Structure formats: C-alpha cells, structure tokens
Amino acid sequence: MTLVETGTRALLGAVFGPTAEGATSYASRLLHLLRPDMLVLWDKGFDGNDFLASVTATRAQFPGRLRSNRRTPVLTCLADGSYLSVIAAEKVRVIDTNITVTCADGTVFTGSYRLVTTLTDAGRYPAAVLVGLYHQRWEHESAYYALRHTIMNGRVLRSRDPAGVEQEMWALFTLYQALRTMMVEAAESLPGTDPDRCCFTIALQTARDQVVQAAAVITDPADAGRVGLIGHRILARLLPPRRQRVSTRKVKSPMSRYSTAMTTASPTPAAPSPVSASASSNLANHTPNSPPSPATTGTPPTPTAAATGSLASSRKTPPASGAPATSPPTSATSPWRPCTDSSPDGPRVASSTNWARASTPPQHGPQQALHDLRKR
C-alpha cells in the first residue's frame, strides 16, 4: 500500500505485509503522512466508517469512491445535483454521476460512479470539477505500472523469506524514488514543463547505462545545480502533452498450462507407406512379439511371380547342392530376421509371431543362420 503524489508520482509513504491483513488496515498506517493542505483520492473499498473518520481527523480533505449500494441519508439537495449527507457522524457531500467516454475508434464506455467528499461548498467546488479531478487518481496506477513492469519487467522477487522480501521491496522503492526525483528536477529546470511529460523508461535506461559504463560516477562540483546526464536525456525526449487515457476494468482470464494451437483444423494423418512387392502384406505390417491380428491369421495369399520364395509360403524346397540359397526377403535397414528350424523336408520358416531380434542382417544363407542359432 502506497501514498503517491499525483503531480509527480513520487512516493510519500509505503507499507506492506502479509495478505491476511486488509488494504484498509495498511492504508490506516499511512494516515500520519497527511496534512491539512492535502487532498486525498482513494479507490473503491476505502469508504468504511472508521477509515473515513480517521481521514477526517487529519483535517485533510478528500473526494473518494463510495459504494453504490450504500444507503446515505439525503439531508440537503444542492444545485449541481449532489446532496449533503452524514457518514459516521461526519458531514459529507455525495455526488452521483454517469460518465460516458467516446474513444478515437468510436467505442463508447458508460459507467456510474459515486463520490463522497468533505468539500461541501458546491459553489466553490462544483460536482463536475470534482469528478474531473478524481480522474487524477489514475496517476497512482501509472506509478504501480512503473514499479511492476518498467523496473521489474515481469520478474518476481527472488527472496524466499520475509526479511529478504522486505529488503528487496525497500530497494525497489528507493530506486523508484531516486528516478522520480531526477525527473522532477529535470522538469523544474525547464519552466512550464509538466513532470508528466518526463519519460520514466528513459530515466531508468540512462541510469543503467551509467552503472554499466561507470559514466559520471564522480560528480564535478561545478555541475552542482545541473540536471545531469539523466535530466539531459529526459529533456531531449519529452513526451507530448498528456491525453485522456481510458482503460476498462476487466477480470483477466487465467493463463492456460497448454500451448495455443496454431491452426484450427485437425491434423491429417500421414498416408501409410507402400508394402514391398516381394513380401506378404500380412507379415510386413505385423508387430513383432505381439498376438497375430485378424488380418494376419487368415489363409496366406497365393504367391505371385513377384512373391516367389517370399514368406507367404510356410515350406519351400531345400536348395540344390551348389545352388545359391534363397533367404526370406528382408529390408536392408531392418534389424529383424525370421527364426528357422530344421525338418526332414528342409528348413521351415517360423510363423509371423515368432520373429527374433538381430543386431545385423544375416551374412550367409539359411544353413549358416541355423547353425548360429543352435550355438545360441
């Protein structure tokens, strides 16, 4: 919880702690920083009776948000549409207003707001002026943006204990306050310059460059009263006069653990690779060491001319003496080969469910392969 000066966005005070304590409780710890010449703006949720009484006791004036469902007695109706009321024995003024904003793209936003203020003189403080003044509360949100995003850049505190977190928080506030001080000094050196036109990002980047490059570490006494390198770069790239900025208040959806699909169409399965013409399709598509599928338990197809000597036949005539042995066709890159067994009629090819793993393709004919298997 922080107390921020809207004109310069400098920190007047900050408190933080466990989330078990409410925001109003933390805000009450900053009330000692208020003075009678201050005007306090607060967001919705700080309109409790005790908090309003505590702020009024500091003699500081305020316009703040009031819950729309809160019933307040109407004591006196004023000419500008506001009325006098009382909250926690404190005399206040309630302003109900509807605000319509039209953006450059034609988008229209309409909202109902309710303000409560201790400025009860409608002649000196018209309702329309106070409603426009309350818009300055968004400078507080800009200060938080600089802390969370510009400085931290999406990072989180690295400490894992309360003492370390507290140290990091105060270091973050110190850096922020030092940069804001340099920005205000730069704006004051050029009469008529609003501090809002000073870019916080330029101030931060220049400060980092000085640390990395060790530039202007030792200050020359002759440079006293000057804005320094940070101030010069800020003034060289002043922002244009501030425009009205509007942002809708929405609930952000939680981030998904899953990546977003790049296409909306379902993936198309790849076409199956064609089966070799020299092998039976039933055996070529069968998974080793698994039960035979219905497609592989039927009657083997009749061998064609291209399938002569293939695995489609369970028996074959042993090769004649001196004739080159024929072996079951296997892929040049496949590590699988069929197991064989001997029989009076010659070597018999094993069934498709009895394939064995081989580290290399067989280098000899079936007789040598049978001899190697018996050794194993």
Domain boundaries, the chain: 2-131, 156-217+226-241, 335-376
The total of other beta-carbon atoms located within 10 Å of residue 217's CB is: 8
More confident residue, 310 or 49: 49
Write the DSSP symbol of residue 150. I
Quick one: tokens of 222?
């002759």
CA 71/CA 157 separation, integer angstroms: 42
| Residue tagged 């818009």 (tokens) | 135
| Residue tagged 């169409």 (tokens) | 265
Average pLDDT over residues 100-124: 91
Quick one: tokens of 160?
């894992």
Task: Name the residue type at position 98.
Answer: N
Residue 7: name the closest of 242, 239, 223, 205 by CA.
242
Res 161 pLDDT > 70? yes
CA 4/CA 38 separation, integer angstroms: 12
Query: Are the C-beta atoms of residues 6 and 25 closer than 8 Å to each other?
Result: no
Predicted local distance difference test score (pLDDT) of residue 63: 95
Quick one: tokens of 263?
């296409």
Share of the chain above pLDDT 90, in %: 49
| Residue tagged 């064995």 (tokens) | 356
In the predicted model, what is the mean pLDDT of the chain?
77
Alpha helices per DSSP H over 190-316: 200-213, 228-236, 281-284
Q: Residue 108 forms beta bridges with which residues?
A: 102
pTM over 0.85: no
Predicted local distance difference test score (pLDDT) of residue 224: 56
CA 231/CA 206 separation, integer angstroms: 9
- Between the alpha carbon of residue 173 and those of residues 10, 55, 373, the distances in Å are 10, 25, 79
Question: Phi and psi of 95, rounded to 5°?
Answer: -120, 120
Res 342 pLDDT > 80? no
Share of the chain above pLDDT 70, in %: 61
The total of other beta-carbon atoms located within 10 Å of residue 157's CB is: 13
Q: At what angle do helices 228-236 and 162-188 cross, to 10 degrees?
A: 60
Query: Are the C-beta atoms of residues 280 and 330 closer than 8 Å to each other?
Result: no
